[in-house]
Structure 1
Amino acid sequence: MCGQKTEAKKETKETKAEPQYIRIPKGCVNVIVDTTKISYVDPKGQITIIRGYRIDDLGKHASFEEAAYLVLFGRLPCEDELKEFSKKLNSERWLPVKVIDALKQIPPFAHPMFYGSYGLLLLGMYDPDEGDLSIDKLYDRAIRIIAKLPLLFINGWHLSRYGRLIEPDRSLNHAKDVLRMIRGGNMPTDTEARAFESSLVLYMDHGFNASTFTTRVIASTLSDMYSAIAGAIGALKGPLHGGANQKAIEMLLEIGSPENVRWYVEEKLKRHEKIMGFGHRVYKLHDPRTDVLREWLEKLAETSGEAKKFLDMINELEKTMWELKRIPSNIDLYTGALYYLLKIPKEFYTPIFAIGRVVGWTAHYIEQVSNNKIIRPKEDYDGPRGLTYKPLEERCKR
């Protein structure tokens, strides 16, 4: 009887049907891969949500600390919670001496995004609990990474180019001090600081974009948070994801004036070239984040002729691109102009994107490992079959 039962089990196992695979479009276009409570990106651009709040509402009103608390913990903080969170964030705004020494060794021609990924991996080595996935440790680690990532970018930049260490000023809030340090210690006005802070909030999270999905893939293996965020930075470094704001300002400077816009666009389109700062993988009608940044450009244009010129060019670009291609502008067109007006080196625009988005990355890491299944899709092999190994001397006979 035992033998018969074993045989029956064997037969069932061997005759088990192949799994039914689901073929999805290349690039996972229009594919939902998981659920999240963090953010939702509406393709129509009418109601993009972070933890239940409209992204434009947060961009207009929330401080960096308020928005970061919301993204991490799922609700806006009370006064005492905000004070405690701000205090924790502030206390982590420092770097180990040996990490600073390592940043000095980076060559000045290196892409600035390397400062963040390289520095984070170093920080992970200094964390004795880096593999501890208990919830309190995860939130502590998230706050540590959010606080230290700007210092890695900023000091990687200033140390490798100018040999200068830029120390944080803990009397300032996170966003204002980050802008001050990026500018080498040049204190921003309150208007400049708030415009910059607004852009960080708008960049904070945005659905399952490439870098966020990278975070979740790495998290799903139960690798550490430092490695996951370093991977996300690598994804954001790609010009199809994070580099568009730098390209957008380069385009605006090349155009030079509103009168040149239509000719420029038509010539680019004739050569089938992209117009930077336009189009989006999800948004097809409108990017609601642009509404908030437009208000900041309008405010700056009240006292700056250069800001007014950029705004006039953007207006003409949006009008022309909608007329010719029905393609809306995206946030990168606006942040490109804003960061230029804030006297930020254009090579630093993508690191700023990461300084805002790191809040979302850490939140997605925590969400992934808290309800985890390793992300492992099936491939569709389309290569040769049936080849056999040949010794080296027989491989390349002619």
Structure 2
Amino acid sequence: MSGLAGVIAGESAICTCGLGNGLNYRGYDIADLALKCEFEEVAYLLLNGELPNKSQLEGFRKDIIAGRELPQNVKDVLKAIPATSHPMDVMKTATSALGCCEPEADDFSDQEEKIKRLLGAFPSFLVYWHHWHKNGKEIELASDETNIAGYILERLKEKTPEAVEVKAMNAMLTLYAEHEFNASTFANRITASTLSDIYSCMTTGIGTLKGHLHGGANEVAIKFVLQFDNVEHALKEVDAIFARKEKIMGFGHRVYRNLDPRSPIGFELARELKELPTSDPKLFDIAKAVRDKVRDDKGLPDNIDFFGGLIYHYMQIERLYYTPLFIMSRAAGWAAHAFEQRANNRIIRPGSEYTGPAPRDFVPMEKR
């Protein structure tokens, strides 16, 4: 039972992964969703069970766009958070602050409105804090960008993103949106099972995602790739790592033994992004060579985090922002699970196997 591996902890109709048919959201294959849908369509699917029609998508997107503006109190909180803070703590604190300003109804009757508000607000939390502390200015949160992927890129960098960047960001949001009972989702469901509010569910997920064994693997993966001058240098170091019996982040997966179905998509996105004038194509060649060597020598396939870090690097996104982007994506999955938990709730309270001392007599202070 180490780490609850192999333990069935509940039922869900949201996602399947590692069951022989890849990764599916509500029955749809991840490749179709990542390459043929906007992230807003996927978020709607996760939350409502079906893909939206045109009018449903327009209404859903309109509500998310309206959620981008932040109350002045939340802006003041973001200004007060030190520039040295970890961006994940920024996201967690801003989420709590918004929950104080706009609490969810006690009967959860507005839960769908609250998650649309949060899907709009999450990118704004990071963008506003970034520009205030890094560039010394209060940025306008309004934008002509209608989709979340374009909004993140345009407001963060304050320039119109390339179409290939929007495509890649949109796909990455979809690829990270949901993954069954992973650590942050299960923690989120535990919070939901206590009948706590949606903001508490989100902050639970954020706090869990911040851990190095959950979010952040793509940060480490790109740091690894960036240290090499060329392919030969990289392969020599991989041999040295094998000799030391150390691990390389971005390979293997607890669920996927043969192939992470998200990885081929990430690979192709990185291949496209390497053609940008600002990109260094050599990094793609290094990453590909490392991927092939680890697979051939150790039988370990890469997971989405290996090329995911390179994708964000090619889009010139700060490394510490990779996991906050994960929040903007996974929030749709967290909320879908919170809603599902609420709909048929029983508080999650597992038992444990006691390994402490046997019953014993109390020893008074004077005899200890």
Which has the larger displacement, 335-344 or 253-262? Answer: 253-262
Structure 2: state its 5+ residue gaps.
none
CA distance in 1, matches of 2:94, 2:363: 43
Which has the larger displacement, 51-60 or 301-310? Answer: 301-310
Specify the alignment match of 1:72 in structure 2.
47
The alignment partner of 2:309 has SS state of helix
* Mapped pair 1:377 → 2:350: yes
Deviation of the 1:304 alpha carbon: 5.0
* Mapped pair 1:317 → 2:293: no
Deviation of the 1:270 alpha carbon: 2.4
Specify the alignment match of 2:59 in structure 1.
84
The alignment partner of 2:76 has SS state of helix
The alignment partner of 1:125 has SS state of helix
Say if 2:173 and 2:326, in contact at 8 Å, map to a contact too. yes
Specify the alignment match of 1:243 in structure 2.
216
Specify the alignment match of 2:197 in structure 1.
224
1:212 is aligned, of 181, 185, 191, to: 185
| Aligned amino acid, residue 163 of structure 1 | G
Specify the alignment match of 1:268 in structure 2.
241
The alignment partner of 1:40 has SS state of strand
CA distance in 2, matches of 1:95, 1:113: 18
Deviation of the 1:70 alpha carbon: 0.9
CA distance in 1, matches of 2:106, 2:122: 19
2:149 is aligned, of 175, 178, 186, to: 175
2:263 is aligned, of 278, 290, 299, to: 290
Specify the alignment match of 1:6 in structure 2.
none
Specify the alignment match of 1:345 in structure 2.
318
CA distance in 2, matches of 1:322, 1:95: 46
* Mapped pair 1:29 → 2:29: no
Say if 1:203 and 1:356, in contact at 8 Å, map to a contact too. yes
Deviation of the 1:43 alpha carbon: 5.2
CA-based RMSD of the aligned residues comes to: 1.8
How big is each residue's C-alpha offset from its partner over 1:206-227, in whole Å with a ceiling of 9 and x where there is no partner? Answer: 1111111111010000011101
| Aligned amino acid, residue 294 of structure 1 | F
CA distance in 2, matches of 1:335, 1:56: 15
How big is each residue's C-alpha offset from its partner over 1:147-184, in whole Å with a ceiling of 9 and x where there is no partner? Answer: 1111112223332333333323342122101112222x
1:62 is aligned, of 31, 37, 48, to: 37
TM-score by length of 2: 0.94
2:27 is aligned, of 48, 52, 63, to: 52
How big is each residue's C-alpha offset from its partner over 1:95-127, in whole Å with a ceiling of 9 and x where there is no partner? Answer: 110111111111122111011111111111112
Specify the alignment match of 1:14 in structure 2.
none
Structure 1: state its 5+ residue gaps.
1-24
Deviation of the 1:237 alpha carbon: 0.4
The alignment partner of 2:227 has SS state of helix
Deviation of the 1:128 alpha carbon: 4.2
Specify the alignment match of 1:21 in structure 2.
none
Specify the alignment match of 1:158 in structure 2.
131
Counting only pairs closer than 5 Å after superposition, residues 253-264 of structure 1 correspond to structure 2 as: 253-264=226-237
| Aligned amino acid, residue 210 of structure 1 | A
Specify the alignment match of 1:120 in structure 2.
95
2:73 is aligned, of 94, 98, 111, to: 98
The alignment partner of 2:80 has SS state of coil
CA distance in 1, matches of 2:363, 2:119: 51
| Aligned amino acid, residue 115 of structure 1 | V
Gap change, CA 1:387 and 1:356, over 3 Å in 2: farther
TM-score by length of 1: 0.88
CA distance in 1, matches of 2:316, 2:113: 33
Gap change, CA 1:251 and 1:281, over 3 Å in 2: same
Which has the larger displacement, 285-294 or 256-265? Answer: 256-265
How big is each residue's C-alpha offset from its partner over 1:185-223, in whole Å with a ceiling of 9 and x where there is no partner? Answer: 132111111111111111111111111111101000001
Say if 2:128 and 2:141, in contact at 8 Å, map to a contact too. no
Between structure 1 and structure 2, the one with the greater Rg is: 1
How big is each residue's C-alpha offset from its partner over 1:44-95, in whole Å with a ceiling of 9 and x where there is no partner? Answer: 5x42100111011111111011111111111111111111111111111111
Say if 2:104 and 2:198, in contact at 8 Å, map to a contact too. no
Specify the alignment match of 2:18 in structure 1.
42
Specify the alignment match of 2:301 in structure 1.
328
| Aligned amino acid, residue 69 of structure 2 | W
Specify the alignment match of 2:162 in structure 1.
189
How big is each residue's C-alpha offset from its partner over 1:258-314, in whole Å with a ceiling of 9 and x where there is no partner? Answer: 222221112122223220111111111111111112222222234558453222222
CA distance in 2, matches of 1:101, 1:74: 37
CA distance in 1, matches of 2:253, 2:229: 25
State the percentage of identical aligned residues.
37
Which has the larger displacement, 328-337 or 157-166? Answer: 157-166
Gap change, CA 1:100 and 1:47, over 3 Å in 2: same
